Structure formats: structure tokens, C-alpha cells
Amino acid sequence: DTAVSQTPKYLVTQMGNDKSIKCEQNLGHDTMYWYKQDSKKFLKIMFSYNNKELIINETVPNRFSPKSPDKAHLNLHINSLELGDSAVYFCASSQDAGGGASGELFFGEGSRLTVL
């Protein structure tokens, strides 16, 4: 039973296309996240979302949009893909620990996006 699962694991597409990456967690967590890991392996948060609030990293282009149909899912939509969007995208989830803090984060296996 995978706790946080992402699909697809690999995605190769052309510039200008629109694509989505799906994420599901079966841990009953309150908060889900999307992180981007670039070619230098540096991880940076893109979004965090719970049923109350979407927090967007201000450096994320508005071509990226998270969509949460329910508490267990947070999908990532990307419009007008650019070469620089090539990276590994990780979904994660955590349980709120109160006072603004989160508990331990659980990560998916990642989705490697290649834009040609």
C-alpha cells in the first residue's frame, strides 16, 4: 500500500503542451504539497494546500495550478510547458500538528517531466 502515489512516473512532452500530474495520499493527512527538484537536485516548495488554505510560492509561474478534488488528492496542472519546466516533481503530505506546524512529511516517488 503506497502512502503517497503519483502518476505518471515519467512524462515526456513538447513545449507549449498542457499536462497534469496526479497525486493521491491514503494517510488521511490534512495537508498536501508539491515540490520541484531541479537538475541540481535542489528541492523547492511550489504549493501547500489543506482544506482551508492554498499557499503558493510566489516564484511559481501562474502556468502551474494545483487542483484538489478532495482531501486525498492534489493534482498539478501545467499550461504552456517550457523547457525550464523539466524537473522531477514530488508530491507530499503531512498531518497538521497545530499552531501552523506540520508533522512528518511523506513523499511520493516523484514524476520526472521532460519538455522537448
Residues shown for the chain: 116
What is d(CA 41, CA 93) in angstroms, rounded to the nearest whole number? Answer: 20
Query: What minimum distance in Å lies between the beta carbon of 80 and other proteins?
Result: 26
Q: Nearest-CA neighbor of 64 among 27, 39, 89, 98?
A: 89
Q: Show the site string, 55-94: x = touches other proteins by CB under 8 A, - = not.
A: x----------------------------------x-x--
- Given the C-alpha cell 509561474, which residue does it identify? 61
Q: Given candidates 43, 61, 77, 82, which one binds other proteins under the rule CB under 8 A? A: 43
Which residue, 20 or 103, has its beta carbon nearer to other proteins? 103
Residue written as grid cell 510560492? 57
Minimum CB separation of residue 24 from other proteins in Å reads 14
